[in-house]
Amino acid sequence: MRKEHAINKYSQKKMYRVNGYTGGHVLKSPYARGQAYQKLGQLEEIDVWDTKGDTEKGYTSTKWEFLRLLFKSKGALFGSIIILLFILVAILAPYIAPYSYDEVDLPNMLQPPSSSYPLGTDELGRDIFSRIIYGARVSLKVSMFSVGISLIIGVVLGAIAGYFGGVVDYIISGLTDIVWSFPVTLLAIAFVATLGPSLTNLILALALTGWTGFTRLVRGEFLAIREKEFIMAAKALGIPNGKIVFRHMIPNSLAPIIVLATMELPKAIIVESSLSFLGLGAQPPTPSWGSIMSAGRSYIMEAPWIFLFPGLVIGILVLAVNLFGDALRDTLDPKLRN
């Protein structure tokens, strides 16, 4: 490392101190040192260490330390393996499934599990194993897209409410509380019934009813972060609000947002399966775990495998995502790490 002198600068990335506070904003062009001087009204000469190489090494070691702590948990290891397995099955469905999901074979309808049909057949002679494999595509697609859209909506609204406060916060918080007061499944049913049953409408329904949790979380995080000294320093330097929010406040809120997203995924999978069970999700012949179970309820006594195996798959995936989410939360929160 080499030592150098700088005026009010304490790193190689043009950071400036505000009233002795060393957690100031990262200044980049067009913010020059002269402009910072005009805003701060004083200069201070301090010693600076060039720690670029050390910072990169520290970041790498921290990343590996985080992964080591995460996968030290058996729940995280089991959950990640199951999740990756389901993703690979969904991607490689045409190559793994022994039959097409809509291949009808009436002479072999309601066949029990056998070497030809590992999980049996349904009322039309379609292979349950193949339909479950293709159904993974539907469930993962709906859950990931709906949670992703909910995350974007929730983060934007929560950031606006938490950063600006006042009337804006009152309006957004009131709207969030109204939506929050209704059960997600009930609202999703109302949306899909209004828009019509389809996968696209199901994704929109889940996204438009699932954003409230992200909004409340991000709003709370922003209310705490906006009082920190490094945010006050950025405001004192005249940094635009957009840069403060996206470069400083959202990155400092990422950990709880990621944890909440992993917790919302199993909820989305269950709601999607429930709506498909009611006929409001994937439409025939597109297979969905919920629709397979719905078709099997009429044959639950003579062909229980139609109802049993899709439910078992849903339970395994939901359990895996929950275990991974719990481990991720414990790893990111130092209070829960031990």
Residue-wise pLDDT for 186-222, tens only, equals 888 888 888 888 888 889 989 988 899 999 999 998 9
Q: Which amino acid is at 224?
A: A
pLDDT at 151: 94
Higher pLDDT, 57 or 12: 57
pLDDT at 129: 93
User: Alpha-carbon torsion 326, 329, 332, 337, what sign?
Assistant: negative
CATH 3.40.50.300 holds for 57-332: no
pLDDT at 68: 78
* Every domain of the chain and the residues it spans: 3-42, 57-332
Q: Beta strand 45-49 with 3-7: parallel, antiparallel or unpaired?
A: antiparallel
* Nearest of 24, 78, 12 to residue 50 by alpha carbon: 12
* Nearest of 147, 141, 136 to residue 265 by alpha carbon: 147
Distance of CA 245 to the CA centre of its chain: 20
Residue ranges of E strands in the chain: 3-7, 45-49
Quick check: pTM over 0.85? no
The SS3 of residue 32 is: coil
Is pLDDT at 12 greater than 60 in this prediction?
no
Determine the Cα–Cα distance for residues 286 and 197; give it in Å rounded to an integer.
13
Residues 68-112 pLDDT 10s: 777 787 888 898 999 999 999 999 999 999 998 888 888 888 889
**């209704």: which residue's tokens?**
182
161 contacts 217 by C-beta, under 8 angstroms: no
- H or E segment and range at residue 122: none
pLDDT at 193: 85
Residues 119-156 pLDDT 10s: 999 888 899 999 999 999 998 999 999 999 999 999 99
* Nearest of 178, 159, 180, 181 to residue 168 by alpha carbon: 159
Output the six-digit token pair for 85. 């397995």
Q: Which amino acid is at 245?
A: V
